[in-house]
Amino acid sequence: MSSNWNHHAYNDSATSGDNELRLIPLWSIILAVLLFAGAQYLFHMPSPQGGPNAHHRPHEMLPFRIIMGYTWGALFASYALLLGYVSRDVKRRGMSPSLWMLVCLVLPGGVGAVVYFLLRQPILQHCPHCSTEMNASFNFCPQCQFQVAPVCGSCHRGVKVTDAFCVQCGHVLAEDNAPARLRVYGD
């Protein structure tokens, strides 16, 4: 249907990506750093005397330990950051935070996070007229019938604000009596 023309439609993609990264809470960032450091310690700590690796010198298998430390550290840190993102994103979409955190923690290997990203609800926006929460893809407010997105005057399907003709029925959008804020730029 129509794009979210009135909700960050003209933001730079880098700016919207930065806004998404700001959702990650501080506890998640601290946990990610600790998990990464813990993985480094785990793969680089000296083995105790008499242990299975006691006959190795510290420089032996160093490339393997470095690669494994960084790989597992990055994996654990990424998972902690993902959990932090989900914990904040789920709230702004009006979904149950405890349910989705449980799903993300219980399903192994990040499968819970993949399920979340496949099933998450769209971001809600507020009607500029009555402040009712509504789906960002709605063209009209379900409470006050305020037009929040441009629609074709003939078939009433959503159109882009830059369209001169309806892509569904070919109607000339300039002939519609749309509010000034929803008129096409071709005037």
Residue 99: is its pLDDT beyond 70?
yes
pLDDT of residue 56: 55
Each residue's pLDDT tens digit, 1-37: 444 444 444 444 445 667 778 889 999 999 999 999 9
Q: Is residue 5 part of a domain?
A: no
> What is the pLDDT averaged over residues 98-103?
90
Q: How far is Cα 120 from Cα 98, in angstroms, rounded to an integer?
A: 14
Residue 150: is its pLDDT beyond 60?
yes
Q: Is residue 1 part of a domain?
A: no
> What is the pLDDT averaged over residues 174-183?
64
Q: Is residue 42 part of a domain?
A: yes
Q: Is residue 147 part of a domain?
A: no
Count up the domains in the chain and report the number: 1
pLDDT of residue 71: 93
Q: Is residue 181 part of a domain?
A: no
Q: Is residue 52 part of a domain?
A: yes
> What is the pLDDT averaged over residues 136-150?
79
pLDDT of residue 178: 64
Each residue's pLDDT tens digit, 109-134: 788 888 988 888 877 778 888 888 78
Q: Count Cβ atoms below 10 Å from residue 32 Cβ, excluding itself.
A: 22
Q: Is residue 161 part of a domain?
A: no
> What is the pLDDT averaged over residues 144-165?
78
Angle formed by the axes of helices 62-92 and 26-44, nearest 10°: 160
Model pTM?
0.62
Domain that holds residue 112: 13-122
Q: What is the DSSP annotation of 12-43?
A: -HHHHHHHHHTTS-HHHHHHHHHHHHHHHHHH
Detail the DSSP E strand segments found in the chain.
124-126, 133-135
Q: How far is Cα 11 from Cα 123, in angstroms, rounded to an integer?
A: 16
Q: Is residue 53 part of a domain?
A: yes
pLDDT of residue 52: 55
Each residue's pLDDT tens digit, 51-84: 555 555 556 678 888 898 899 999 999 999 999 9
